[in-house]
Amino acid sequence: AQKVTQAQTEISVVEKEDVTLDCVYETRDTTYYLFWYKQPPSGELVFLIRRNSFDEQNEISGRYSWNFQKSTSSFNFTITASQVVDSAVYFCALSDPHQGGSEKLVFGKGTKLTVNP
């Protein structure tokens, strides 16, 4: 069965520090997708990124970067020069295919990031 582990329950940093959120996953599928979502204090889930299992290139989007390593089944997320607005719970998720080609997401427990001024 698919499983996502986010070992860091809570992280607290000071503004401008870099921070890395870890995500380790388990799957027997050869084709799968990994996701990161952000849940700010307001509660909604905001999509950040989707990567497929065949693309191991790291991705950078502004202050955000993602490191996908199949060899260690990890998909880590780094925020560079963190800001107070980055304070949120971050979820890593893995696609879990169903028959008929549908998908559901399996989420990790989330990492609560607090960025202090």
Partner 1 sequence: DSGVTQTPKHLITATGQRVTLRCSPRSGDLSVYWYQQSLDQGLQFLIQYYNGEERAKGNILERFSAQQFPDLHSELNLSSLELGDSALYFCASSVGGSITDTQYFGPGTRLTVL
Q: What residues make contact with partner 1 under the rule CB under 8 A?
A: 31-33, 35, 37, 42-47, 50, 91, 93, 95-98, 100-110
Q: What is the 3-state secondary structure (H, E, C) of the chain?
A: CCEEECCCCEEEEECCCCEEECCEEECCCCCCEEEEEEECCCCCCEEEEEEECCCCCCEEECCEEEEEEHHHCEEEEEECCCCHHHCEEEEEEEEEECHHHCEEEEECCCEEEEEEC
- To partner 1, the closest distance from the beta carbon of 34 in angstroms equals 12
The separation between CA 4 and the C-alpha centre of its own chain, rounded to angstroms, equals 10
In the bound state with partner 1, the residue whose beta carbon lies nearer, of 64 and 80, is: 64
- To partner 1, the closest distance from the beta carbon of 73 in angstroms equals 18
In the bound state with partner 1, the residue whose beta carbon lies nearer, of 10 and 17, is: 10
- To partner 1, the closest distance from the beta carbon of 81 in angstroms equals 26
- To partner 1, the closest distance from the beta carbon of 104 in angstroms equals 4
In the bound state with partner 1, the residue whose beta carbon lies nearer, of 30 and 57, is: 30
In the bound state with partner 1, the residue whose beta carbon lies nearer, of 32 and 66, is: 32
